[in-house]
Structure 1
Amino acid sequence: MTQPRNTDPYADARAFYGSELRRLREDAGLSQDQLGQRAFCSGTYIGQFETAARRPQLEISKLLDEVLGSGEHLQRLCRLARTTKVADYFADAAELERQARTISECSPMFIPGLLQTEAYARALTRASQRFASQQVVEQLVSARLERAQLLDGPTAPVDWTIIHESALRVTVGAPAIMREQLTYLVETVQCRPNVVLQVLPFAAGPHPFMNTMVSLMEFSDAPPVVYTESAYSGQLIEDPALVAQFQSAYDLARATALSPEASLSLIRSAAEEWTTHEYHN
C-alpha cells in the first residue's frame, strides 16, 4: 500500500507535490515526524506524500501550508495532483484499490464497477449523470473499464463481492444489456479463480448495507480501510474500530447470502428471464 511511485518531480503533478513538500520541510529544519506532529498526522503519512505513494489531501495541504509558511503553494499543487479520471470523491479509494490484496464489496442495487460490462456501465453512468455531455460519460465509462483490469494478472487481488438480488432485477439500459451483464458475471467467476460472487436474496430481509455500497480493502503491508459510497459522494474510513465494525457487518452479510454455487444458479436464471423480456419487448 505504501510503495512509492516514480519520484521524479517532473514525472507528474503528484511527484512534484512530494518534492516540494520535502523541500519546504527540509528548509524548515523539520523531520517527517516533527512535521506530522504539527499537522496532526504521522510522519509515515508525510513520507507517503513525499514519495508520491499517496494522493495529497486538500485539508492536510492547508495545514502544511500554515505550518511551513508557504502561503497556498501546497494547496495549489494539491489541486493539480488530484486530477483524476474517476469521480474525485472516489479517487483515493481507486488508488488504494490497485494496491489491495483483498477487495470485499457489498452492493445493494447495482453491479459494482469492477464487474460491469461496457454497455451496463454506460447505461448506469448516463442515468446518474443525466445532464453530462456524452464526452464526460464516455470518459467515466472508460475509466471504469480500465479499473476492471486489476482483476487480471499475477498480482490480482481476491475480489469477494456480494450483490443484492435487486441488482439482478432492476432494468439498467435494456433487457439485452441486463442479459449480457449477468452472463458476464457468470463467465467472470468461472474464468477468474480470484473472483467470488454471492447474491443476497430478497428472502434474507433487511441487512446492514441496505442504503450504501461498501468496499473493504486489505493490504499486505498496511491496515485495512473501508470505502462507502452513496449518490455523488463517498467516504474513505481508516479508523480501526469503525473498520472492524464494517468487517463484522460484512461477515454477517456474507453468511446470510446464498452460497457461491447457488448464487451462480440464480444469476443464470435471471439472465434467462431477461432473454424472455427481450423477446417480449
Structure 2
Amino acid sequence: MGRGAWARQAAWEFFGLELKRRREAAGLTQGELGRRVFVSGGYIGQFEQAIRKPQKDVAGRIDEALQTDGFFERMWRKLIADSPYADYFAAVAELEVPATRICQFAPTVVPGLLQPAEYARAVTLATNPFVSEDYVEEKVTSRMERARILKDATRPEYWAILHENVLRVPVGGPAVMAWQLDHIAALARERTVLLTVVPCEVGAYASMAGMLQLMEFDDAPPTAYTETSFSGTLLDDPAVVKRVQRAYDLLRVAALSPEASLAMVESAAEDYRRCPSTT
C-alpha cells in the first residue's frame, strides 16, 4: 500500500473512532444508531472499524442522528475528494475491500482489477493525452494498489465476464496486449478469477449492458455499479440491484465456458505475440 493509501486509511480510521466516540456520548448502541440511519448495527460497527465506508447520504443521516452539525458529511466529502479515483468511482473502490464477492462485466476495456501496469498506463494516456507524467503515475499506482485485494488471504470471490472485443482491441499495442492477456490467463489458471468471455457471435446479448459490477458483503445488502465513459452510478436500491443481477445472469448464460474462455484468451495472446510490431 502506497503512502497516499496509508494516509487515506488512517483518515477513515479517525472517522470511525470519532463516530464511535460521538455515538457513545449520545448513549446509543450500534444497533440503535443503525436503526436511526437505516442500516444494520453491524454496518455501524464496520464504519467504526474503518472496514467499510458509508455513502454520503448515510454520513448525512449520522450527522442528523448524532446532531453533529454536518461533521461526518464534511469529512466524507474531504476523504472522497482526496481519493485518487474519479468522484463517481471512489466509493466503489472503498466498497471492494470488504466485499466477499465481486462480479464484473466489461464490454470494451479490461477491468481495473485485472490490469497490469503497462495496460493501465495505455488506458490512462488514451483518455488523458495532455496530462503530466505524475498524473499518469498516480493513476497507475492507485490501480495497482486497488488490485492488491486479489492477493489478500481474505480476497473476494471474483467473477469476470469479458466481451470478446476486450481481447481484440490492441490497447497499448500488440506487446502490451500479449502481456495483458497472459496476466489474465495466469489469474484464471491460479483460480484467482473465474473468467468467462462473451463471444461476438452471440449478438444482442453482448450489447445489452454497459460495464456492470455487483458486490456482496457478509453483513450488508449487495450493491451494484454501472459505468459509462465519463460517469458511473452506485446503486443500492434492492429492486434495482436485482435488475442488474438479472442482466449479469443473462450475460453469464451467453458466455463461453471457463475452459473455452481461457483458450480464447491464450489464443488471442499468441496472436499478438506473432504481430511484427512486437519485435
For Structure 1 versus Structure 2, the TM-score category normalised by the shorter chain is: 0.7 to 0.9
State whether structure 2 residue 217 is matched by structure 1 residue 219.
yes
Deviates more, 1:195-204 or 1:150-159: 150-159
State whether structure 2 residue 125 is matched by structure 1 residue 126.
yes
Asked whether the 8 Å contact 1:14–1:56 carries over to 2, the reply is no
**Which of residues 225, 228, 231 is equivalent to 2:229?**
231
Which residue is equivalent to 1:103? 102
Asked whether the 8 Å contact 1:200–1:253 carries over to 2, the reply is yes
Root-mean-square deviation (CA), in Å?
2.8
- CA-CA distance at 1:81 after TM superposition: 3.4
Deviates more, 1:76-85 or 1:194-203: 76-85
Give the whole-Å Cα distance in 2 for the aligned partners of 1:114 and 1:20.
Answer: 32
Instruction: Tell me the secondary structure at the aligned position of residue 106 of structure 1.
Output: strand
Give the whole-Å Cα distance in 2 for the aligned partners of 1:220 and 1:58.
Answer: 21
Which residue is equivalent to 1:241? 239
- CA-CA distance at 1:125 after TM superposition: 1.4
Deviates more, 1:68-77 or 1:90-99: 68-77
Check 1:62–1:100 CA distance in 2 against 1; reply closer, same or farther (3 A cut).
Answer: closer
Which residue is equivalent to 1:151? 150
Which residue is equivalent to 2:273? 275
Gapped regions of structure 1 (runs ≥ 5): 1-10
Which residue is equivalent to 2:14? 16
Check 1:162–1:139 CA distance in 2 against 1; reply closer, same or farther (3 A cut).
Answer: same
Which residue is equivalent to 1:256? 254
The residue type paired with residue 14 of structure 1 is W
Cα deviation, 1:104-127, whole Å, max 9, x if unaligned, reads: 111000111111121111101122
- CA-CA distance at 1:35 after TM superposition: 5.0
Correspondence 1:148-227 to 2 at 5 A:
148-190=147-189, 192-207=190-205, 210-227=208-225
Give the whole-Å Cα distance in 1 for the aligned partners of 2:101 and 2:42.
Answer: 23
Instruction: Tell me the secondary structure at the aligned position of residue 262 of structure 1.
Output: helix
Deviates more, 1:255-264 or 1:127-136: 127-136
Check 1:195–1:42 CA distance in 2 against 1; reply closer, same or farther (3 A cut).
Answer: closer
TM-score w.r.t. structure 2 length? 0.82
Check 1:160–1:20 CA distance in 2 against 1; reply closer, same or farther (3 A cut).
Answer: closer
Instruction: Tell me the secondary structure at the aligned position of residue 223 of structure 1.
Output: coil
State whether structure 2 residue 79 is matched by structure 1 residue 76.
no
- CA-CA distance at 1:167 after TM superposition: 0.6
Deviates more, 1:258-267 or 1:202-211: 202-211
Instruction: Tell me the secondary structure at the aligned position of residue 204 of structure 2.
Output: coil
Instruction: Tell me the secondary structure at the aligned position of residue 206 of structure 1.
Output: helix
Asked whether the 8 Å contact 1:197–1:263 carries over to 2, the reply is yes
Check 1:212–1:260 CA distance in 2 against 1; reply closer, same or farther (3 A cut).
Answer: same
Higher helix share: 2
Give the whole-Å Cα distance in 2 for the aligned partners of 1:169 and 1:54.
Answer: 37
Give the whole-Å Cα distance in 2 for the aligned partners of 1:47 and 1:186.
Answer: 38
Asked whether the 8 Å contact 1:162–1:257 carries over to 2, the reply is yes
TM-score w.r.t. structure 1 length? 0.82
- CA-CA distance at 1:210 after TM superposition: 4.5
The residue type paired with residue 79 of structure 2 is A
Check 1:25–1:250 CA distance in 2 against 1; reply closer, same or farther (3 A cut).
Answer: same
Instruction: Tell me the secondary structure at the aligned position of residue 205 of structure 2.
Output: coil
Instruction: Tell me the secondary structure at the aligned position of residue 271 of structure 1.
Output: helix
Cα deviation, 1:213-254, whole Å, max 9, x if unaligned, reads: 111222334332222222232222222222222222212211
The residue type paired with residue 251 of structure 1 is D
The residue type paired with residue 89 of structure 2 is F
Asked whether the 8 Å contact 1:108–1:210 carries over to 2, the reply is no
The residue type paired with residue 55 of structure 1 is K
Give the whole-Å Cα distance in 1 for the aligned partners of 2:107 and 2:261.
Answer: 15
State whether structure 2 residue 50 is matched by structure 1 residue 52.
yes
Give the whole-Å Cα distance in 2 for the aligned partners of 1:54 and 1:220.
Answer: 11
- CA-CA distance at 1:256 after TM superposition: 0.9
The residue type paired with residue 156 of structure 1 is R
